[in-house]
Structure 1
C-alpha cells in the first residue's frame, strides 16, 4: 500500500503549486492589502447549474492534513476563509462541491485553480494549503466524484455509464470552479483577482489543457505538467505492459526489469556528451534489450539469468502498443523509466508462480468504462481484444475526455499562456504523447514559432511522473509562468535541480521543445552553465 500511495501521489499537485520566490516572479502591485471578509458572498451559478448551498467559515490555519489516501501535510498555513459551494445540474442527479480558500491577510492579488490526480477531480487540501501559504486565493472541485481510486461513480445502477459525472470529471466542473472561485474572491475581498492561474499535474495537467481548449478565458496562465491528454487512448495504452506479459506468459522480475533499464541508460546516456545517468532525449535511445540475453543479474533471492523471453517482453513494452498486424497505436514506456510502474507483478505464491499486477488507473478505465463490468479480469485480454478496446475507447470517449483538440486559437486570442514540463522517464504517462500533441498544435496553428508565443513545452531528463516537485528536484515553474503572463518574459529554459546517477543534486536548464540539453565539453558537469540547448 505504501508504494501505491507513492505512485498516486506522483499524479497529485502536492508540490507543483509551491511558489519559490525569485527576482523573475515578484508580487504584482495591487491597490493595497485586502483583508478577507469571511461571509458567504452572493454567487451566480454557471449556466446549466444550480447552487444548492453556499457557506463561509474562518479557519485558523496552522497545520493542514490532506484528506483521502494521498494524505500529506502542510505546516505554517495562515488563517484563511473557506467558501464552500454545492452545485447540481437539474436532471443529472449529481452534486459537486467547490472549495475556495482565501488568506485572511497577505493576499497577493492572484487566483489559483487546482487540478486533481487519477480519478480525483480536485485537490485533497495540500495544494490549497500550499497556495494559501504563498499568498494565493485558491479553488478546487471534487466534481461530484470520489478519491483517486474510487470509480464507483462510473456506472449507474442499471449498468450504464454515468455520463453526467463523467462530463463533470472530464471538463464541466473545472470550468465551473473557475467561475465560482473568481466570484468568491470578488465577494470576500471586494475586488477581483489581478491574475488567474491554473496549476495541475497528470490528471490535473489534462484538466489544464481542457481549460485551454474549451474555456480559454478562464485563466491567464495554465501550468499543466505531465498532462494526461489523449486520455481515451493513452489510458488503454498504459495497460499494454500487462497485456504483453499475460500473452507471452512471461513475467520478468523487478531486478530483471531494472537491469534492462540500467543497461539502456548506460548505453544512451553519452548521447548528450556526458555520462551522468540523465538521458536527455529518451526518444532517440535505440538500445536493443536482446543484448542482455544470458546476462546474470543479482536479485534478492539470488542471481537471475536474463532470457530471450524476458528481452522480448521488454522490447514490446518499450516499443508500445501495436495491432496484431503491426500498426502502431501509442508510445511505449520510455527508456529510462521504471518498468515496474506498469509492468508490476505479484510476489511468488506457494508454488513460485507470479502474475501481473496492473496499475489500477488503466485497469479501472477498461473494466468500468469499456467493459462496463467493474470486476472484469484484464488478464484475459488478448492482443486482438486490446486493439478493439483501444478503438472502442477512442470512438466512445474521444470527444468527451480526449483533451487533444489542437485548435488553441481562442486561448491564444485571449492572451493566455500555457506552460508544461514532462519527465522523460515518466513511467505512467509516456512523454511522447505530449510531444505529439504539441506537434499537432504546431501543424494546426502555423508552426513552432507562432505556437511558442503562447504555449511552451519542456522535457525533463531522468524525471519520473510529476517527479521534479515530488522528489528531490525542483523548478520554479509557477514563477516562470507568472513572469511570462505578467511581464511578457517568455521562458526559453526552465532552471531546475535534478538528481544524477550518484544521487547528487545538479542544476540543469530544461530546454524548450524541440531543443535538448548537451554538455559543452568543459565546465562543471554539475552546473547548468556547462550545458547548452540545441536541436538534435
Structure 2
C-alpha cells in the first residue's frame, strides 16, 4: 500500500517540480522549513529501488552564526526485513545555491555531523554549512547499536539489501536523490553544483559515486579511501591471526619504541629534522635492529623474534593464493611509521592482542575483521573470527569471492565522470594507520594507466601528506589542514586547476607545500616552519 501511495504521489509532485530551474543569484535563499515536516518522498524520485520515504521532522537550528532548517527523513527499503536509511539535510537560511554530501566512516550506522568540515579541512575557514551549502548525508542504511564501539557494528551485514546499501554504495544514490528532492522543495530551485566529500569509508564512497553515477556530483573529495575494502579485510584478518600468536603482540611501550626508532632513522632524509618523515619512500628501517638478545622477549627496550615477524607482516604486502571475482590479488601493507604510532594505538596495533571474543582494546582493524567474519562472511554472530584463515579460507572461498564484487570498488575507468566535467581530489596521509596510503597510490596509478597521464591530469589530483595519519586522530606528527573545498570550487566552477597548494599543520602551526604524488617536500633553506622553505621533489 505504501509503495502504491508513493507512486501516485510522485506523479503529482514531479509534475509540479520537474520545471524547477537551477538556482540563480536573484532567487530567495530561505528554506520553507515548516512545509517540509511530514512530507512524503515518492519512490520514483530515487533511481534505485525503494518504497519511498518520509520526513520525520523539520526544525530550525542554529550553529554559531548559521541558522538552518534541519530535516530528518527515512528512506524505506524494498525488503521489509531490511532497516530504513536514515538521512538528514541541513538547509541554511543564507543558501549559496550549492549542495554538499558527506560520506561516513567504518561500518557507518550513524549520520555524519552536517556542521563539520571536509576531511583534512582547514581550521581557519568555515565548514560547508557555514559557507551556505545545503549539506546532507545518511547512515548508509542501518543503525549502529549503542552497545558497539563507534563505527564498528557490522551486524547489518546479515541482510542483503542492507549489505548492498553500505558496501556497494546503493544508499549513497538513494540519499542523494531524496536530498535533492527536499532541497528543491525547500528553495523552489535546484543546486547549481553538488559536491561530495568523505574520508576512509567515506573516501571509498566518494570514489563509488564517481564510478557508478558519474553525473551525480560535480566534484569529489576522497580522503584516505578504503576503496578495496574486501582486499583490506583479508589483510586485516591475516594480521589479526599473526598478532594473536603467543608472544607476537608488541605492547604499547614497544610500539612507541618502534615508532621513535623509525623517526630517528628517517626524519632527516628530507633535509631537516622536524619529527616528520617527508620522504617515506626513501625510509629504510630494519626492525631487526631492535631485536632482543637471543630473540626472546627480555623487556620493553627491544622486540622479540615473534614481535619482529608481526611488525614485518604489517608492513609487507599480503597476497592470497586464490582468485576472487573482483580481480584483486593483494593488499600492500603499511609503512612502519603508521601501525606503530602510539599516539593513535586504537587505530594501529591496539593495546591488547586479538582474541576470541575480540577485545575492544585490540586494534580497530582487528575488530573490523571480527565483525566482518561474523556478519558478512559466515552470518553467524558466534563464529570465531580467528578460525577463518585468509590464506586458506576453505569452505568460505566462494562467499569471499562474492563479497569482493560488492566491497572492492575498483573500477578505475573514470572517463564518464571526467567527460561530465567532474573533478576529483585524492588525499592521504603518509602515516595512516588504518587505510594504507600505498593502496591509494595504487588506485591513482591504475587510473593513469587506464586513461593516460594527460587525461588523468585534466580531472584528478592526488596529494600524499607526510606525517599525517588517519583523520588527524590523536596527536599526529602533522595534523593536516587544507582548504580542498575552495580548490575544488575554483576547478569546477572557474576551470582553475589546483596549483602551488599549501597544507597547514594545525597542531604545530607550520606549513608545507602540498605536493602532487609522487613528489614530496624537501627542505632547501630558511624557516623550517614555512612552506616557502621547501620544494616539491621526486
Q: Shorter-chain-normalised TM-score: which range?
A: 0.7 to 0.9
Task: State the distance in 1 between where 2:350 and 2:218 align.
Answer: 40
Q: Does 1:37 align with 2:32?
A: yes
Tell me how far 1:367 sits from its aligned partner: 2.8
Are positions 1:330 and 2:331 aligned together? yes
Q: Is the alpha carbon distance of 1:295 and 1:81 closer, same or farther for their aligned partners in structure 2, counting shifts above 3 Å?
A: farther
Partner residue, 1:415? 421
Q: CA deviation at 1:83?
A: 2.9
Q: Which residue number corresponds to residue 286 of structure 2?
A: 288
Aligned to 2:437: 431
| Aligned residues of 1:281 and 1:424 also touching (Cα < 8 A) | no
Q: How much is the aligned-residue C-alpha RMSD, in angstroms?
A: 3.2
Give secondary structure in 2 for the equivalent of 1:237. helix
1:78 matched residue in structure 2: 66
Q: Provide closer, same or farther for how the CA distance between residues 318 and 448 of structure 1 changes in structure 2, counting only shifts above 3 A.
A: same
- C-alpha deviation, 1:378, in angstroms: 2.8
Of the three residues 394, 399, 409, the one matched with 1:403 is 409
**Partner Cα distance (1:468, 1:30) in 2:** 40
1:102 correspondence with 2:91: yes
1:262-320 Cα distance to aligned partner (Å, 9 max, x none): 21222222332222221223244231100112389xx9x98543333322221222114
SS at match of 2:278: coil
Partner of 1:61, secondary structure, is: strand
Give the whole-Å Cα distance in 2 for the aligned partners of 1:193 and 1:470.
Answer: 38
Tell me, yes or no, if the aligned pair for 1:498 and 1:506 is still in contact at 8 Å.
Answer: yes
- Residues 247 and 443 of structure 1, relative CA distance in 2, 3 Å threshold: same
Q: In structure 2, what is the equivalent of residue 199 of structure 1?
A: 197
Distance 1:323 1:175 in 2: 33
Match of 1:510 in 2: 514
Partners of 1:116 and 1:204 within 8 A in 2? yes
Q: What is the SS of the residue equivalent to 2:470?
A: coil
1:426-462 CA-partner distances (Å, limit 9, x unpaired): 00000111110111111111x2232121111110101
The answer for the alignment partner of 2:252 in structure 1 is 254
Distance in 1 between residues matched to 2:403 and 2:431, nearest whole Å: 27
Shift of residue 134, structure 1, vs aligned partner: 2.9
Identify the residue that residue 448 of structure 1 maps to in structure 2: 453
Query: With structure 2 as the length reference, what TM-score do the two structures score?
Result: 0.80
In the comparison of the two structures, how many residue pairs are matched?
Answer: 473
- Alpha-carbon separation, structure 2, partners of 1:207 and 1:303: 41
Does structure 2 conserve the Cα–Cα contact (< 8 Å) formed by 1:233 and 1:393?
Answer: no
Report the CA distance shift for 1:224/1:323 in structure 2 as closer, same or farther (over 3 A): closer
Contact 1:477/1:494 (<8 A) preserved: no
Match of 1:364 among 352, 368, 371: 371
Distance 1:374 1:253 in 2: 28
1:373 aligns with 2:371: no
Rounded to whole Å, the distance in 2 between the matches of 1:88 and 1:116 is 20
For 1:230 and 1:348, locate their aligned partners in 2 and report how far apart those are by CA, in whole Å. Answer: 23
Output the CA distance in 2 between the equivalents of 1:230 and 1:442.
17
Q: Given the two structures, how large is their TM-score scaled by the length of structure 1?
A: 0.80
User: In the superposition, relative to structure 1, how do residues 206 and 387 fare at CA in structure 2: closer, same or farther (>3 Å)?
Assistant: farther
2: CA distance, partners of 1:308 / 1:153: 39
Q: Does 1:46 align with 2:49?
A: no
> Separation in 1 of the partners of 2:138 and 2:390?
38
1:150 to partner: Cα distance: 2.3
Please give the secondary structure, in 2, of the residue aligned with 1:442.
helix
Deviation at 1:123, TM superposition (A): 2.9
Structure 1: gaps of 5 or more residues:
1-27, 63-75, 156-161, 350-354
Q: Does residue 1:530 correspond to 2:533, yes or no?
A: yes
Equivalent position SS for 2:522:
strand
Distance between the aligned counterparts of 2:165 and 2:220, measured in 1?
A: 20
| 338 and 295 in structure 1: CA distance in 2 versus 1, 3 angstrom threshold | farther
Q: Is residue 281 of structure 2 the alignment partner of residue 277 of structure 1?
A: no
Structure 2 partner of 1:313? 310
Runs (5+) with no aligned partner, structure 2: 1-22, 118-126, 145-150, 323-327, 356-360
Deviation at 1:42, TM superposition (A): 7.3
Q: Secondary structure at the match of 1:107?
A: coil
Deviates more, 1:504-513 or 1:280-289: 280-289
